[in-house]
Amino acid sequence: MPKGPVKRRKRPPRATPASVAPVWAALSAHYPKADCALHHRNPFELLVATILSAQCTDARVNLVTPELFARWPTAFALAKAGPAELEGVIRSTGFFRNKTKSLLGMSRRLTEAYGGEVPRGMDDLLTLPGVARKTANVVRGVSWGLADGVVVDTHVARLAQRLGWTGESTPEKIERDLMALLPREDWVRLSHVLIHHGRALCQARTPRCAACPVREACPSALC
């Protein structure tokens, strides 16, 4: 039994726009070329790649999409794909049966309602099978620079928590906190920068805190 009271680590002060601004500026400057890691040439390809990225790494998706886009380059072509053939192409991304159903449904909806073009509107995007808010935010933000919110994937969630920018655990609540801390014009770039930082330095198991440009301001830094 310990002889004295257990010392608790002090909680960092609640994050505010003013406290987050210099940390965000340093991270943004450290990754000046941070951008979407999914390879694509147009909004349709980005939409397909984003649907495939669920529970799958971007690197794996980028290995699969060249063949997919070569076979079915448009919504009209993909809408006519045979389910078994499509499943064979995307199998390695995981959950391939559900993803096949989403891709076929999404493509058919695009051809029937939008002339084969990906709509810009959030409400329109959310009518597409396989498209929820996160996917719609990716497509709107990357394709047209339109920001309705912050894309929260596992990297963004982990870093937001480690930096003390949120105490929440669900993507929806983390997104809400991040939107309150940074101006709208930074929302799209924020996710790209945090994802790059999470891959390069702030990994889940062994964060490289000694090389982190914001370690002095991070309440979770190990050194």
Which active-site residues does the annotation give? 134, 153
3 state DSSP class of 187: helix
| CA distance from start to end of the chain | 29
Q: Pick the closest to residue 89 from 162, 208, 81 (CA basis).
A: 81
Q: Pick the closest to residue 114 from 96, 139, 90 (CA basis).
A: 139
Residues 6+ apart with CB under 8 A from 193: 27, 28, 31, 34
Helices of type H across the chain = 17-30, 43-52, 58-71, 75-79, 83-90, 96-113, 122-125, 133-144, 154-162, 171-181, 187-200
* Torsion angle of the four alpha carbons 210, 176, 142, 53, in this order, in degrees rounded to the nearest 10: 80
Structure tokens at 192: 């790209």
Q: Could you tell me if 149 and 125 are in contact, meaning their C-beta atoms sit under 8 angstroms apart?
A: no
Spatial distance between the Cα atoms of 141 and 73, rounded to a whole number of angstroms: 22
Q: Could you tell me if 101 and 69 are in contact, meaning their C-beta atoms sit under 8 angstroms apart?
A: no
